[in-house]
Amino acid sequence: MSNLKAFPTGGLYLLLFFLYLFGPLAVMIVTAFNSSSFPRISPWECLTSDWFFKLFEDETLIAGLGNSFVIGIGVVLVAVPVGLAAAIVLSQVGPHLRSVIYAVFIAPILMPGVVIGLSTLIFWDRLGTFFGADYDSFFYSGMFLTIAGQVTFISAYSMLVFLSRLQRFDPTLTEAALDMGASQTQAFVKVLLPFMTPAILSASVLAFLASMENYNTTVFTIVAESTFTTVLAQKVRYGLDPSISAVAVIIVGITLVGAIIFENYNRLRTQKEARAAAASSVPPVARFATNPLVIIGFVLVCMIGFVTWVGTHDSSVCEANVEQMKRAYQQEQLEQQRNRTPATASEPAEQASPPANTGGGVFSPGNLAPGQPEQEEAPASPFGNVFAPENLQGGD
Amino acid sequence: MREIGRFFSGFANRNGLPVAIYLLVAVSTWIFVLVILPQLTMFDFSFRHNLPPPKIGGPEDVHTLEQYRYFVMGNEITGGGVNTLDIAVLFKTLVAAVFVTIIDLAICYPVAYLLAQSSEGSAKRLLVLALIVPFWVNEILRAFAFRILFGATGVINGAGMQLGLWDAPIDFIGGNVALYAGLAYAYILLMIFPLYNAIESLDRNQIEAARDMGASWAQVHRRVVIPYAKPGIASGSTMVFMLTAGALAAPQILGGPSSLWFTQIIYQWFNSGGNWPRGSAYAVILLAICIMFVLLIMRVFKVSIGEIGR
Amino acid sequence: MTKDITLDHVSVSFGDYTAVDDAHLTIAGGEFFSFLGPSGCGKTTLLRCISGFQEPSWGEVRIGGKNMAGVGPNKRPTALIFQNLALFPLMSVADNIAFPLEVRGIDRKARRKRADELLELIALPGQGDKKVGELSGGQKQRVAIARALAVEPDILLLDEPLSALDLKLRQHMRRELRAIQQQVGLTFIYITHDQGEALTMSDRVAVMSRGKVEQVADPRTVYDQPASSFVASFVGENNALPGKVLESGDGRMVIDIGLAAPVTVAAGKGRGRKLKVGEACHVFVRPESVAINGDGDINRFNATVIREEFEGQVRHLIVKSGETELRVTQVGYGNGASGTGASVAMSFAPELAVPLPIGHLASA
């Protein structure tokens, strides 16, 4: 830290900031494992992996994911070459023209996504009308329109990636290639492109992710079809459901794993370069624990563990118990009410109580708390599959 | 004209014909077919009547100011007056976007400064990496997380009531608290990174020199760090304002039932409203305001567009 | 096979700025030829004209009698070694050397064979699979040369390739470059601002200033018989003494340079220029040409030592006589006389002084 005195406050501030950054995500992730049908932490009902299964059974979401994937690939295939071309053109024009062209190239990033989406929609619709195209031609295809709309601004993103890499390119390398008899095309393919390869990779990842997560433009251009994001938005708008939290768990997980692998790959590379340096001073245990390969391996083991857990964990017994307790609690309330006002309470009581057939007020609400941890630790019960998740939710 | 011809022949000489063709075709397709022509079409469309498809291109398809008149005056049937509803929504959207931008700037400046000027290499890299992680979580999910936090039975109401701060659940959604918090959260990284990049390139000796000459920390920031970070501040503010003003997902998910975001009106005209020309006109209005905002920022901060886009 | 290179009244201008002004000279095949001049003198532009990265605004570049106008750098029989070497960082050493063959469509095996031959030539056998980043500065230098030689060009162009090296390595590489040039028998055109490099390696040197070629000659001539006041002041150390011609006669001139008495200098015979009586001029006297306590009678004067600079093998005295300051260099401790304030008698031979008309001098 530049300022030792400010360190405690600064550190505290950073801590609070990262809490703010990750807190909402953490809460969301935890709700994915609560069997409560509304995404919440308290009251905690049962540790469950059912929401993941519900997710995999959601056909519209899976179909949307498929569409998003196709669109993402399409966007990468178009936006990355366009971005590269834009960066190269920009690097070749004079300083005066450069600022003008730069402003034009950067404009799609600054434009609201909504505007890009609907201008794309209108433009191709007009064009389709002009050519008298059929309604099933690409002018009206949601997939095509979405790729066109997203490429508009994602090209500018990838251009920025290429520009920063291009700044470090030594143009004498191209001259050297030309001088040694290479044609301009050869110099481009053999010298410039290999230099740009890392940037091409990162621009591709960036473009794909930006495409996957885009909503504002896509919601206009997708027309009758759907993408992962639009399905998700639909789900969120029309009812909160912990299976959305399960989506978040998966996405956060993938992002974290990606980030860890990326970081360790980088560290591996720097380590390779300066291997001899500090190897001796670190105790062997610490060295083992911080070895990038060990970390990557650990992450992979965790992932496999998690997936197996999701596949095998069975919370049905616990959930049945919670269900029972809820009913018992209701029953008890009803009886209390009935005792107090026996005449008027009977009607609503019949309505409120579902086809309750399990044993009555054996469990009081007070018994709930101690019962829970036992159930959580309970291993997969042999007759768990009798209760399908849908049945359990129906009783709420 | 000859200048252009000379530029192209020079360009082809420099890159070789195949590469020159690739570069020019890729860039011109992008700029003309994907950016400029759709904008022009939308602009033209916003000056037309809402006609059923068979009548488009027919004698009734003439230019009109009807759509813009509606935005200002409202419906003819409801009588002259002023369309207070839509204008109020636009105004509210802009004010809220400015508010969110200021909040983000206030939150991010210390973070960017602390991160950029701290020396620990690998810890710093990890923190910067940690900043990026939430950014790759879908926008919808980020809004959803705030829905969970701020719901009537959400974590915040739960904690607040547990601690006895308030008795009945507070309606954060209806009061738009959830919306503003969610928007500020959603675009916070677009504020942090420009600031971080700007401050990181500041030579630490400058700060130390200023301290050495007796400047207080407030003075160091006011006279040294902030002027230096100005392009970053301009860039971050522009990005956050643009994205907030143009946000659609967060208002749809977190907005209270009575409040509308301007983009939602555009969305309604396109979907349930079925009036594309009117939606276009509203989009043109939004775009024009965004352009004015960028120009304003450039003027106020005396920066070029290149510094904003970075 | 060696080819002459002719620069036929070549000029290059960028807008109002003239980078090369009417360069007119011929470089013989097999020659080690240097362009020497301070930065911004136009030597790099001239090199780019020869290699084809720059078209002359006027005039012609001919290689082997053939006009090179419109011939791209990839079609000329020249190979350029860049100032920063421009080795491809992502390729191995062998791939770098074989690159010119690769772009000519020669198969991998033949390429590798040629690369190995060249590695042999530059004394880096078996290092072909290394990455460029693993080489030392001098090794990179040699790889760049090998790469340029891969397709047997007629002319090798070198753009200050030694400037990034430290002093010892630079001196070693001078000898090595010269040895390689003699071994392969190619024309080397060498660009440098370092006169030591130009003088030690070259057969002939062209001294440039402000876009103009001031003199083309072998190193000895450039040093002893500079053709202009710029060359005299740029190459080696020199005392530039402003003066006025009093007499101009048969092989001799008498010039007043502000000493107690006018001096006599040799004129004509390649040494300096014959000047008219009354003309203002510079008389150049090299610091090592001034004798202290010598026995010469001509051009003898007394001076006071005002400063002494000790540099190891040589010692410089800055002396003053009348209004004229002179720099005098002695090997070792010379002829005694030393110490600031000491008065010494000095002299120089008429044929070691070079009178030239007033012109611009190299800035210190």
Distances (CA, A) of B30 to A73, A74, A120, A154, B38: 18, 15, 12, 11, 11
pLDDT tens across A90-115, in order?
988 877 888 888 888 988 888 888 88
What residue in C sits closest to A181 (Cα-Cα)?
C74
First-last CA distance in chain C: 42
Cβ separation of B23 and A88 shorter than 8 Å?
yes
Q: Could you tell me which chains touch chain B, where touching means 3 or more CB pairs under 8 A? A: A
Q: Could you tell me which chains touch chain C, where touching means 3 or more CB pairs under 8 A? A: A
CA C213, C214, C220, C223 torsion-angle sign: negative
CA A294 to chain centre: 26
Higher pLDDT, C357 or A130: C357
C-alpha distance from A344 to closest chain B C-alpha (Å): 29
Q: Which one, of C156, C136, C155, C135, lies nearest residue C145 by Cα?
A: C156
A183 in contact with chain C, both atoms CB, cutoff 8 A: yes
| DSSP character string of A280-338 | TTS-HHHHHHH-HHHHHHHHHHHHHHHHHHHHH---HHHHHHHHHHHHHHHHHHHHHHH
**DSSP state for residue B268 in the 8-state scheme:** H
**Chain C residues with CB-CB distance to A178 below 8 A:** 53, 72-74
Higher pLDDT, C280 or A388: C280
C-alpha distance from C135 to closest chain A C-alpha (Å): 14
The reported pLDDT for the residue numbered A87 is 93
Tokens read off for B241: 């304002």
What residue in A sits closest to B238 (Cα-Cα)?
A110
Distances (CA, A) of A148 to A211, B33, B35, C143: 11, 9, 10, 48
Of A40, A86, A248, Cβ closest to residue B27: A86
Tokens read off for A139: 């002018």
A91 in contact with chain B, both atoms CB, cutoff 8 A: no
Runs of H (alpha helix) within C20-91: 43-51
Distances (CA, A) of B287 to A123, B249, B271, B291: 16, 18, 20, 6
Distances (CA, A) of C118 to A23, A345, C83, C102, C125: 63, 103, 21, 15, 8
Could you tell me which residues are beta bridge partners of residue C241?
C283
> For residues A247 and A29, what is the distance between their CA atoms, to the nearest angstrom?
9
A335 in contact with chain B, both atoms CB, cutoff 8 A: no
Query: Tokens 């120009």 identify what position?
Result: B295
Cβ separation of A113 and B248 shorter than 8 Å?
yes
The reported pLDDT for the residue numbered A291 is 67
Tokens read off for A287: 């060295």
Cβ separation of A191 and C100 shorter than 8 Å?
no
pLDDT tens across B214-272, in order?
777 878 888 888 888 888 888 888 889 988 888 888 888 887 766 788 888 888 888 77
CA B37 to chain centre: 22
Distances (CA, A) of A211 to A117, B13, B19, C79, C333: 13, 36, 27, 47, 80
Higher pLDDT, C320 or A318: C320
Give ∠ CA B81-B87-B89 in degrees, rounded to 5.
Answer: 135
The reported pLDDT for the residue numbered A394 is 32
For residue B162, the tally of other CB atoms under 10 A from its CB is: 9
Q: How many A-C residue pairs are in contact by the CB < 8 A criterion?
A: 60
Determine contact, residues A229/A215, Cβ cutoff 8 Å: yes
Of A39, A102, A121, Cβ closest to residue B306: A102
Secondary structure of B18-79 in HEC code, one letter for each residue: HHHHHHHHHHHHHHHHHHHHHHHHHHHHCCECCCCHHHCCCCCCCECCHHHHHHHHCCCCCC
The reported pLDDT for the residue numbered A81 is 95
Give ∠ CA C129-C131-C136 in degrees, rounded to 5.
Answer: 110
| φ/ψ of residue A169, rounded to 5 | -80, 135
- Whether omega before C77 lies within 30 degrees of 0, making that bond cis, reads no
A299 in contact with chain B, both atoms CB, cutoff 8 A: no
**Chain A residues with CB-CB distance to B122 below 8 A:** 267
Query: Tokens 């993103």 identify what position?
Result: A157
What residue in A sits closest to B108 (Cα-Cα)?
A17
Reported confidence tier of residue B1, pLDDT bands at 50, 70, 90 = low
With left for phi above 0 and alpha for psi between -120 and 50, is residue C30 left, alpha or beta? left
> For residues A90 and A124, what is the distance between their CA atoms, to the nearest angstrom?
28
For residue B183, the tally of other CB atoms under 10 A from its CB is: 30
For residue C86, give every residue at least 6 positions away whose Cβ sits within 8 Å of its Cβ, in sequence order, or none: A170, A172, A173, A175, A176, C144
CA B294, B299, B305, B308 torsion-angle sign: negative
Determine contact, residues A49/A309, Cβ cutoff 8 Å: yes
The reported pLDDT for the residue numbered A353 is 39
Probe site for chain C from A170, A172, A174, A179 (most C CB atoms < 10 A): A179
**DSSP state for residue C351 in the 8-state scheme:** G
The reported pLDDT for the residue numbered B30 is 92
With left for phi above 0 and alpha for psi between -120 and 50, is residue A239 left, alpha or beta? left
Cβ separation of A182 and C148 shorter than 8 Å?
no
Of B130, B136, B245, Cβ closest to residue A112: B245
The continuous run of DSSP H or E covering C18 comes out as strand C17-27
What residue in C sits closest to A174 (Cα-Cα)?
C86
A179 in contact with chain C, both atoms CB, cutoff 8 A: yes
Determine contact, residues A220/A152, Cβ cutoff 8 Å: no
Q: Could you tell me which chains touch chain A, where touching means 3 or more CB pairs under 8 A? A: B, C
Q: How many helices (H) and strands (E) does chain B have?
A: 17, 0
Cβ separation of A173 and C99 shorter than 8 Å?
no
**DSSP state for residue C185 in the 8-state scheme:** T
Which A-chain residues 353-382 have CB contacts (< 8 A) with chain B?
Answer: none
C-alpha distance from C74 to closest chain A C-alpha (Å): 4
C-alpha distance from B186 to closest chain A C-alpha (Å): 10
Q: How does strand C212-217 pair with strand C263-266? A: unpaired
Q: Which of A65-74, A342-351, C134-143, C321-330 bottoms out in mean pLDDT, i.e. has the lowest?
A: A342-351
Cβ separation of C90 and A194 shorter than 8 Å?
yes
Determine contact, residues A25/A297, Cβ cutoff 8 Å: no
Determine contact, residues C245/C277, Cβ cutoff 8 Å: yes
The reported pLDDT for the residue numbered C31 is 92
| DSSP character string of C124-154 | -TT-TTSBGGGS-HHHHHHHHHHHHHTT--S
**Chain A residues with CB-CB distance to B139 below 8 A:** 213, 215, 229
Average pLDDT, rounded, for chain A: 75
The reported pLDDT for the residue numbered C267 is 74
The reported pLDDT for the residue numbered C222 is 92
Cβ-defined contacts of B83-92 (< 8 Å, 24+)? B86/B265, B86/B282, B89/B260, B89/B261, B89/B262, B89/B265, B90/B262, B90/B285, B90/B289, B92/B259
Question: Which chain C residues have any C-beta within 8 angstroms of a chain A C-beta?
Answer: 51-53, 72-75, 78-80, 82-84, 86, 88, 90, 99-100, 102-104, 147-148, 150-151
Cβ separation of A122 and B42 shorter than 8 Å?
yes
Of C79, C84, C90, Cβ closest to residue A179: C79
A180 in contact with chain C, both atoms CB, cutoff 8 A: yes
| φ/ψ of residue C213, rounded to 5 | -85, 115
What residue in A sits closest to C88 (Cα-Cα)?
A173
Q: How many A-B residue pairs are in contact by the CB < 8 A criterion?
A: 266
CB-based burial, A250-263: b 16+ in 10 Å, e otherwise: ebbbebeeebbeeb
pLDDT tens across C31-63, in order?
999 999 998 889 999 999 998 888 999 999 999
Q: What is the mean pLDDT of residues A291-312?
A: 74
**Chain A residues with CB-CB distance to B110 below 8 A:** 10, 13
Q: Decide: residue A352, CB within 10 A, 0-12 exposed, 13-18 middle, 19+ buried.
A: middle
For residue B69, pLDDT beyond 80: no
C-alpha distance from A327 to closest chain B C-alpha (Å): 21
> For residues C348 and C330, what is the distance between their CA atoms, to the nearest angstrom?
13
Rg (alpha carbons) of chain B, rounded to whole number: 25
Could you tell me which residues are beta bridge partners of residue C324?
C321
Cβ separation of C151 and A177 shorter than 8 Å?
no
Q: Which residue positions in chain C have pLDDT lower than 50?
A: none
> For residues A40 and A33, what is the distance between their CA atoms, to the nearest angstrom?
10
Could you tell me which residues are beta bridge partners of residue C58?
C11
**Chain A residues with CB-CB distance to B130 below 8 A:** 18, 21-22, 259
> For residues A107 and A81, what is the distance between their CA atoms, to the nearest angstrom?
18
The reported pLDDT for the residue numbered B26 is 92
Distances (CA, A) of B57 to A386, B54, B60, C99: 63, 8, 8, 61
| DSSP character string of A16-74 | HHHHHHHHHHHHHHHHTTB--SS--SSS---B--HHHHHHHH-HHHHHHHHHHHHHHHH
Determine contact, residues A282/A275, Cβ cutoff 8 Å: no
Query: Tokens 């027309």 identify what position?
Result: A223
**Chain A residues with CB-CB distance to B185 below 8 A:** 20-21, 24
The reported pLDDT for the residue numbered C103 is 85
> For residues C54 and C7, what is the distance between their CA atoms, to the nearest angstrom?
13
Cβ separation of B39 and A85 shorter than 8 Å?
no
pLDDT tens across B118-157, in order?
766 667 777 777 787 777 788 888 888 888 888 767 777 7
CB-based burial, C211-231: b 16+ in 10 Å, e otherwise: bbbbbbbebeebbbbbbbbbb
Cβ separation of B114 and A1 shorter than 8 Å?
yes
Domains of chain B: 1-45 (no CATH), 85-309 (1.10.3720.10)
**Chain A residues with CB-CB distance to B145 below 8 A:** 24-25, 27-28, 248
Q: Which of A127-136, B65-74, B146-155, C138-147 has the highest mean pLDDT?
A: C138-147
The reported pLDDT for the residue numbered B102 is 92
A261 in contact with chain B, both atoms CB, cutoff 8 A: no
Q: Decide: residue A395, CB within 10 A, 0-12 exposed, 13-18 middle, 19+ buried.
A: middle
Of C52, C79, C90, Cβ closest to residue A195: C90
Architecture of domain A61-240: Orthogonal Bundle (1.10)
> For residues C50 and C11, what is the distance between their CA atoms, to the nearest angstrom?
12
> For residues B257 and B264, what is the distance between their CA atoms, to the nearest angstrom?
12
**Chain C residues with CB-CB distance to A177 below 8 A:** 88, 99, 103
ipTM of the complex: 0.85
A170 in contact with chain C, both atoms CB, cutoff 8 A: yes
Determine contact, residues A109/B294, Cβ cutoff 8 Å: no
Probe site for chain A from C78, C91, C96, C99 (most A CB atoms < 10 A): C99
Determine contact, residues B183/B247, Cβ cutoff 8 Å: yes
C-alpha distance from C5 to closest chain A C-alpha (Å): 17
